[in-house]
Structure 1
Amino acid sequence: MNIYKSLFLFFTFALTSCLETVDPDTYNCIDSNQVAAISVISTTQVSDVRAYTDEKILCKSNTELFFKKNKDDQFYHYSYNDEEVDSEYEDWFVKLGCYIKYNASLKSKDVFFQIKKANQLDEIKVDSLLKGKEHIYAISEQDTAWLFSFEISLLNDGNPDYNFSISSKLGCHGGYCFVTLPISEKEFCFDKNNENMKYLFE
C-alpha cells in the first residue's frame, strides 16, 4: 500500500473540509448532502476498492488509513507505516474507501462496490444502501464479531467516526455486512489540482 500518499490525500481532505472559508480560485467545494462515502474495514490486506455503474466508475480508492495496537491494549491508533507491524505482538486493521457524487438518479441504477484482495475479487450491489451525507462501511462477515465487540470507538482518541456501536446496520450479503454512520462535515473542499477528487465536480 502506498500509505504515505494515501494519508496525505486524507489529511488534505480532512483539513480543507473543516475550513469555514476557502479561496474559490484554489478550491472546489461540495455540500456533503451531495456526497456518499463508501469504505471497507478489514483485518486482512485490501489492495483496491471502487464503486461503479454499467456506464462509468463513480470513485476509486483514494483514502487509505492504517491502524494498529499492541495485543494487550484495548484501542487502536493511527499508524504511518503498515510494514512495521509485528503480527506476534500487534493487531491491525485497514480502512480503504472513496467518495461518490450522490444524486437521486443513482437509485435507478445498478451500483456495485468492488473489493480487491490478494487472490480475491468481490463485487457487491450497493445502490439501495447509498444515501447523501452518509458513510457506508463494508465489513467482511469474519470481521463482524471483532468489530461489534467494541461498545465505543475503536480508536484511543475516541473518534466517533469509528464508534460502530451507534451505527445503523443495513444487513449482510455477498460475504459482507454493511453499516452506516453520518458524515459530520457540512461541506467538503478540495484543491482543484487534486486529480483524485475531480469526478465529484463533473
Structure 2
Amino acid sequence: MNTDGRCGRRRHLVRCGPILLRTAGLEDMLAGLAAASDDRAQRWLGWRAEQICPEPLRTRCLESAPRGDRAAGAGKTGSHDYFAALDRGTGLLVGMVGIVFAPDRRRHELGGWLAPASRGRGLGAEMFQAAARLAHEHLGIGELSAGTEEANIASQRSLITAGFGPGSGPDPHVLPNGRAIASRWFQHVATARLCREGGVRKWPVTP
C-alpha cells in the first residue's frame, strides 16, 4: 500500500522520523559519493581509488541540498538501487543506502553509509529503518540482509536499533579493493508489498 504518496514508476519516497528516503537522482548520487570519500568511511567501505570523490568537489557536494532530479538508477527490484536519505528539515544529505541482489541471486542485501556530519547522532538507525520499510512496502522484498565488518560496532548497533536480527551471509566478505574482512550478518523480515500495486508479492523475486 502506498502510504507516502508521490511514488511512481521507478521512483519511491518514504518519510520516516527525521529522514526522507527517495530514489537517488544524479545530484543525490554525487553527494552520496562525496559522503563516503573520507578516510573514516573508507576504512569500512574499501572502495577502489577511482570511486573516491576528490576535494574540493567533496565539500561543495555536502554543503548544499541535492535537487530531486531524474533517477540515476534502474529503480526496480532486482537491479542495483540506490536511495538518498535526506534531512527533512534542511534537505541536506544524511546518507545513502543501496538495496541489491546478493551474488547468489537468492536474497537482497542492504548497504549504506552516513555523511560525516550525520555520524554519532543516531541517524544510522533511522536511515536503516526507513530502508527496511521501503524494501518491504515499496519494492516487494520480504527478507532483507545486511552485513558489517565484525569490528564495526556502530553499524551493528544501528542495524539492531532499526529492528534487524541475526542473519547469515558470506564470511569472510571481500570489499571492492580486495580486502577480506570478518563479517557479521543481520536480517529484517516482513510482509512484502508493492506500493504501486497494493498487493503482496512472493519472495524471492525473480529479476
TM-score normalized by structure 1? 0.31
Q: Which has the higher contact order (CA 8 A, sep 6+)?
A: 1
